[in-house]
Amino acid sequence: MIRLEKLNKSYPMADAPVHVLRDLDLFVAEGEYAAIMGSSGSGKSTLLNVLGLLDRYDSGSYTLGDTLIRDVSEREAARLRNQYIGFVFQSFHLLPFKTATENVALPLYYAGVPRRRRNELALQMLERVGLRERADHLPNQLSGGQKQRVAIARALVTKPRLVLADEPTGALDSQTSNDIMDLLASVNADGMTVLVVTHEHDVAAKMRRVIHLVDGRIASDRIQVPS
Amino acid sequence: MSLDAWQELFERLDRSRLRTGLTMFSVAWGILMLVMLLAAGRGLENNVRWQFRDDAINSIWLWPGRTAVPWEGHPVGRALSFDNDDIDAIRAMPDVGALTGRFRIWDDFAISWGDRRGDFSVRAVHPDHQVLEGTVITSGRYIDDLDLAEKRKVAVIGDEVSSQLFRGEDPIGERIAIGGITYTVVGVFFDDGGPGETELIYVPITTAQLAYGGGRRVHQIMFTVGDMTVAQSEALTDQVRGQLARAHDFDPDDARALRVRNNLEQFQQVNQMFEWIGAFVWVVGVGTVLAGAVGVSNILLVSVKERTAELGLRKAIGATPGSLVAMVLQEAVVLTSVAGYAGLVLGVALVEIVAASLPENEYVRDPSVDLGVLGAAVVLLVVLGTLAGLVPALRAASIDPINALRDG
Ligand SMILES: Nc1ncnc2c1ncn2[C@@H]1O[C@H](COP(=O)(O)OP(=O)(O)OP(=O)(O)O)[C@@H](O)[C@H]1O
Ligand SMILES: [Mg+2]
């Protein structure tokens, strides 16, 4: 699914460029369920952004599926994101003026799916995350956990092969966090590759693989039995 | 644009109703002002053209004056006068169109038909006077060459004269007395030039010269010059001036000896003035419209800035930069064209109302806006809308989703 070889990424700064990802080698197989951990500033979000085609890298290579990601146009990147990748964010990023259904259906709009079909799929997805009865609610009528469920439904609605979540439980209490992680685990059980950036050991403990970043390098990469 | 794009647009506009309303108002106002200014300019222009309406625009009028420059032994202050030979000489010149002299009858003659009397001016003229004055015959005929050749005592009377003397009876063939001499009425005319121009009687110039002791004298000469440019008409004027100077022994450069009015030149000056007014109106009007467009551009920039997170998210889930450009441009074009169209309709309606209720006055006449101008304004709007949307649209397209979605 994902293959990184000697991948480097730095941000040009006034005095010296900040070297954020250093010679990363990483292979993630289809269907994996992995946590990316590391202290603040270790490059977790940057890695996720590169994997999610939201950011470019400087050298090395990144292959997503069969596609070598290098010099892809913004347009092409948008298409790949829409088709292959679902994003989940710490602060949900639902559009406040759209109902749950409309939020979930939005990626399908950019995929060119007709309206009726969009709504069908969005409702199915809401059903899947247990929020069928909140379909017509606006985000500010939902709890944090419910918002994240809607966001996950949105990430899943195009049936992507890769789900990238950057601290999806960062804004939630521990009970709600557990629910969300259970949901992501079930998503993974359906066959999607799921990568979750997290600070929380409880969260990482539920995953089958934990990749540890220190200063932009992989310090450890363990396979474990989920708790 | 898909139905969804439209729906999104309307929802978005609805969410920022006040801002949208104010922006649209400023665009509509700009167009309204443009329309009003154009109509006012047109009204002024119509008025001046109207004032020029009754006389031939391409005409040159000549009066004899007094010499102000000594010439070949002649003293200054010598009064000049035209005569029939001058008429013949000018008529012989190429490019001279219709030509007439005027012989003025100074005495305050009473004019009568039977026991009805009236007080009217009499002009003794050549047949071409009809062309120069824009006289319209409503019944009978105008003075012709035969009248002049035979010095016939015939008269063509204005319809004001006709209604005052004949009061509805048919004047053709009736005999009226002008200073004791009897003329047969052969025609009745109308003239656009106002009431004064129809309280007039025209008689053959040769008849008047004979009857009132004028000899061969002519008081004024007028002729048309075809479709000449101003420069050509001035060259012809110089030629005529030279001819008259030779015939009457005065310095051709003596402006006081011969007084000239070149209507073509005057008309041209007026036209030029209206070109300036027109240009001014466009500059002011387009400036106002431009201000509206800049307003649209501005609120779209604000809107794009406010929606940074939303636009970043849209990009992350698959919106192409092109789709965001289209989204903002659509909003810009819709805002400007809908508002502009409203301004246009309102402006035209207002112009119509003003035009309909405007009392007769000296300054404006028939203010109106023509369709070509309106079409241009609509095109201008769409172009401006697109231009107005361009900067915010490119800004939207260049949003970096990572920055836009940064948590916390
Ligand atoms: N746009 C940028 N320009 C310059 N430096 C940046 C930029 N984005 C990130 N960095 C730097 O890159 C490093 C890695 O940032 P990143 O956001 O990937 O860290 P992180 O591991 O996600 O941290 P956190 O746990 O706090 O979210 C940091 O030192 C950060 O300051
Ligand atoms: Mg981070």
What is residue B168's predicted lDDT score, i.e. its pLDDT? 85
From its phi and psi, is residue A93 left (phi > 0), alpha (psi between -120 and 50) or beta? left
A169 lines ligand 1 (CB under 6 A): no
Q: Classify residue A198 as exposed, middle or buried by CB count within 10 Å of its CB (0-12, 13-18, 19+).
A: buried
Which atom, in ligand 1's list, is nearest to the CA of A49? 18
Q: Do B316 and A115 touch (CB under 8 A)?
A: no
What is residue B271's predicted lDDT score, i.e. its pLDDT? 81
Q: What is the pLDDT of residues B99-139, one digit of tens each?
A: 999 998 876 778 888 888 888 889 999 999 998 888 899 99
Q: What is the pLDDT of residues B238-258, one digit of tens each?
A: 999 999 988 888 888 888 889
Looking at ligand 1, which residue's alpha carbon is closest to its atom 26? Answer: A40
| Under 8 Å between Cβ of B116 and B137 | no
Rounded-to-integer distance, Cα A21 and Cα B39, Å:
68
A21 lines ligand 1 (CB under 6 A): no
Which atom, in ligand 1's list, is nearest to the CA of B407? 27
**What percent of chain A stands above pLDDT 70?**
100
What is the pTM (predicted TM-score) of this model?
0.73
Is residue A146 over pLDDT 90?
Answer: yes
Rounded-to-integer distance, Cα B259 and Cα B267, Å:
18
For chain B, give the mean pLDDT: 87
pLDDT band at residue A218 under the 50/70/90 scheme = very high
Spatial strand order in the sheet of A162-166: A85-88, A162-166, A193-197, A33-38, A209-214, A217-223
Q: Where is pLDDT greater, at A34 or B115?
A: A34
Say which residue the tokens 């073509």 belong to: B264
Is residue B186 over pLDDT 90?
Answer: yes
Interface of A with B in 174-203 (CB under 8 A): none
Interface of B with A in 372-401 (CB under 8 A): 401
The distance of Cα B12 from the centroid of its chain, to the nearest Å, equals 48
Q: Cα dihedral angle (B9, B10, B11, B17), rounded to 10 degrees?
A: 110
Interface of A with B in 63-82 (CB under 8 A): 74-75, 78-79, 81-82
What is residue B33's predicted lDDT score, i.e. its pLDDT? 86
Nearest chain A alpha carbon to B323: A110
Q: Do A110 and B314 touch (CB under 8 A)?
A: yes
Rounded-to-integer distance, Cα B239 and Cα B245, Å:
10
ipTM reported for the complex, 2 dp = 0.94
| Under 8 Å between Cβ of B384 and A66 | no
> Chain B contacts of A90, Cβ < 8 Å?
407-408
What is residue B54's predicted lDDT score, i.e. its pLDDT? 62
Which ligand is located closest to the Cα atom of residue A43?
1
Which ligand is located closest to the Cα atom of residue A89?
2
pLDDT band at residue B1 under the 50/70/90 scheme = low
Residues with CB under 5 A from ligand 2 (ion): A 45
Helix residue spans in B216-370 (DSSP H): 230-248, 263-306, 308-316, 321-357
Q: Which residues contact B221 (CB under 8 A, 6 or more apart)?
A: B61, B62, B82, B86, B87, B90, B99, B100, B101, B102
Most confident of B18-27, B34-43, B135-144: B135-144
A58-97 residues labelled b (16+ CB within 10 A) or e (exposed): eebebebeeeebeebeeeebbbbbbebbbbbbbbbbbbee
Q: Which of B77, B394, B30, B57 is nearest to B257 (CA)?
A: B77
What is residue B407's predicted lDDT score, i.e. its pLDDT? 62
For chain A, give the mean pLDDT: 94
Nearest chain B alpha carbon to A156: B317
Residue type (1 letter), B403 = N
What is residue B355's predicted lDDT score, i.e. its pLDDT? 86
Q: What is the pLDDT of residues B362-406, one digit of tens each?
A: 777 888 887 787 788 778 878 888 888 999 999 999 999 998 988
What is residue B111's predicted lDDT score, i.e. its pLDDT? 87
Q: What is the pLDDT of residues A81-117, one digit of tens each?
A: 999 999 999 999 999 999 999 999 999 999 999 999 9
Rounded-to-integer distance, Cα B82 and Cα B232, Å:
24
What is residue A191's predicted lDDT score, i.e. its pLDDT? 92
What is residue B107's predicted lDDT score, i.e. its pLDDT? 66
Rounded-to-integer distance, Cα A129 and Cα A143, Å:
14
The half-sphere exposure of A37 on its side-chain side, counting CA atoms within 13 A, is 18
